[in-house]
Every structure is written in structure tokens, then in C-alpha cells.
Amino acid sequence: MTVEAENLSGRLLTALVGATELLTVELGRELGLYAALRDRPASAAELAKTAGIDERYAREWLEQQAAAGFLTVDGDEFALAAGAAEVLLDEGGPGEFAAGLGMVFPLVVAAFRTGAGIPYSDYGQHIRHGIAAFNQPMFDHLLTAEWLPALPEVEARLLTTPGARVLDLGCGAGRSSVALALAYPAITVRGIDLDEASITEARAAAATAGVADRVSFTLGDATRIDGEYDLVTIFEALHDMGDPVGVLSAVRPRLAPGGSVFIGDERVADEFTAPAGEIERLQYAFSVLHCLPATRAEDPVIANGTILRAPTLLAWAREAGYRSPEVLDIPNDFWRFYRLR
């Protein structure tokens, strides 16, 4: 075997280790095993009793998790490793993504053969929750603390204009909509998404956060909107829309005087380069397995996929009639930000 072949083989083995460990993480999350270890260490027998699972399976999972470094072990008792509670006790993330993509993989194989798409709803709750969980920390800690403050006049409008209206297109499970309402008590937010299950979860999230009186969610097409808005947001959704120029064109006449469109989408290179960096490799993999098939299911005008490059987005904006679309200088490892007006 050549050195190059050995290196590639080693890389794929490392990827397999990571993929299988992600699934064991999702197993622990779905069965409540990490939650059962939240307060104190436990033996296999104790974990089995607390979590309601079989003891033999409990022991194997505990040993595997300790071997992976997610748990520590002292005698026959296992505990969460340092930092594990912060990462493994949330509602989802990479493990949920991996499980969801694995479940739908046969449909992707079939789609490649036929050229058909896979409706977003067919990807199920694992992908829906994985997306929401992956993005929620950014919405909770960055959206209103760093991103919008980078646009002082936009933030001032949200803070000081009674009844200022925000439209959150492609709102998904509503985490961005809720974060906006919590940070800016004077505003009302309307979220729109094509996925019925996401809208149901978004309404529940708004009620739980106590902002349902100012946040509403509509099941609908982003090219067919009404009302007037001071701010329109599109977070990691434009690349999934089958008619992005149509969406941006529909938004423009709905902006109140002085209003803006604020977009966050994938941070990728301006041109195709191979081999690419790690984040772009991840985005391409998502595109192959999820974003492109889901968009193809919409009978799209454009099936862009995950890789939305800045020149492409700016060209769409100009085609939709925006005179001064701009790339914003807001640092983020995953997203690039744009303002259209």
C-alpha cells in the first residue's frame, strides 16, 4: 500500500471512530443516561435502574463512554468527565445529526439515482432538532449581543421604536425569533417556515419563553408574504430556498422605510477550492446528504445546496433589486453575514 493510500485509510478509520462515537452519544442522550449521571456517579446496576434500561447494555455503554473519555471511572462507578455536562446534557447536536442522516441515507441513494428530492419533513425530528440545537447557542449568546449591535441603527430601531416589526424567514423551530423577542421587548416577531413540525415546535418554544403574545408563527411560503417590517432576518435558510431571488424580491417591497434585511448563511470560500478546509468539508457533506436533496424536493428555480458563496448571494440580492447589498464584518466560524437595503 502506498503512503498516500495508508494516510487515506487512516483518515477514514478516524472518521469511523468519530461517527460511531457520535451515535453512542445520541444513544445516551435519547435514553437519558447522561441525565441519570448528572448528580452523582453510578454503577451499571444503578444506571439501569434509574434510566429503565437493561443492565448488560448499561455496563457496555458505560465502559465504551469511559474508553472514549466522555466518562470517568472509579471502581465500578462511572461519572461525567470534566466539561461533559455542558456538552452532553443539552437537547441535541452532532450526535443527533449523525443519527438523522443515517436514518435517511437509503433515500439519498435513491435520490441520486432518480434526480428526485427528499422533502425536509422526511428527514425527521433528529435533523430538525439537530439543526435547532446546533444553532441555539449562537442565537442565545451572539444574535443580540454581537451580531445586531454591529448594526447600531438597526438595533436602535428595535430598542426604541414601539411595535417595531421583525419577519424571521425560514424560522425553523423558532429559536431565533424567540431570542429576538426576549432581547427587544418593544418588538413583535413573525416567523415563517414551510415545515409544519417546526412551526408546531416554534409555537411551543415561544409559549415556554413567555413571548407568545409578541411572537407568532405561520406555515407558509417565503415568496408569499404580507405586512410591513422594520427588519427581515434569514438565518441559515436562504441556501435551502428553491427560489432565493424570488424570496428576496418578495421581501423588498415589504420593508418599512429605512428597513433592512439581515442574513446569516454559510461561511465558505468565495470560489471552489480542493482540497478545502474542515468547515467547508463539513458544509459540502451536509449539502450532499441533506440540503441539496431537500431543496430538489421543492421543484426549485435554483437548487444551490449548502455552499452559498458570498458573490452568489450578492448577485441574487442585486437581481432582486437591492442597490447596496454588503458583506458585514462580523466574525463567526460558521456563518457570514449580509445586510440588504
Instruction: Answer yes or no: are the C-beta atoms of 254 and 232 closer than 8 Å.
Output: yes
Q: Residue 201: name the closest of 91, 103, 283 by CA.
A: 91
214 strand-pairing partners: none
Instruction: Answer yes or no: are the C-beta atoms of 320 and 338 closer than 8 Å.
Output: no
pLDDT computed for residue 93 by the predictor: 77
Give the residue-averaged pLDDT of 307-312: 98
pLDDT computed for residue 244 by the predictor: 97
Give the residue-averaged pLDDT of 166-185: 97
Name the more confident of 86 and 167.
167
Tell me the domain boundaries of the chain: 3-88, 114-340
| DSSP letter, residue 144 | I
Instruction: Answer yes or no: are the C-beta atoms of 92 and 132 closer than 8 Å.
Output: yes
> C-alpha cell of 205?
418554544
Q: What is the pLDDT of residues 247-286, one digit of tens each?
A: 999 999 999 999 999 999 999 999 999 999 999 999 999 9
pLDDT computed for residue 185 by the predictor: 95
Instruction: Inform me whether the pLDDT recorded for 87 exceeds 90.
Output: no
Its pTM stands at 0.93
**Axis-axis angle for helices 3-30, 55-68 (nearest 10):** 130
148 pLDDT tier (thresholds 50, 70, 90)? very high
Q: What is the pLDDT of residues 55-69, one digit of tens each?
A: 999 999 999 999 999
Rounded (10°) CA dihedral 278, 284, 288, 293: 130
156 pLDDT tier (thresholds 50, 70, 90)? very high
Q: What is the pLDDT of residues 97-111, one digit of tens each?
A: 999 999 999 999 999
pLDDT computed for residue 45 by the predictor: 98
Q: How does the average pLDDT of the chain come out, rounded?
A: 96
Instruction: Inform me whether the pLDDT recorded for 92 exceeds 90.
Output: no
1 pLDDT tier (thresholds 50, 70, 90)? confident
Instruction: Answer yes or no: are the C-beta atoms of 180 and 166 closer than 8 Å.
Output: yes
Give the residue-averaged pLDDT of 65-94: 90
Instruction: Inform me whether the pLDDT recorded for 317 exceeds 90.
Output: yes
- What is 114-340's CATH topology? Rossmann fold (3.40.50)
pLDDT computed for residue 90 by the predictor: 67
Q: In percent, how much of the chain has pLDDT > 90?
A: 93
Distance of alpha carbon 236 from alpha carbon 81, whole angstroms = 33
130-to-123, 136, 173 alpha-carbon distances in Å: 11, 10, 11
Among the residue ranges 124-133, 282-291, 328-337, the one predicted with the least confidence is 124-133
> What is the CATH architecture of 3-88?
Orthogonal Bundle (1.10)
- Give the DSSP per-residue string, 153-218: HHHHHHHHSTT-EEEEET-TTSHHHHHHHHH-TT-EEEEEES-HHHHHHHHHHHHHHT-TTTEEEE
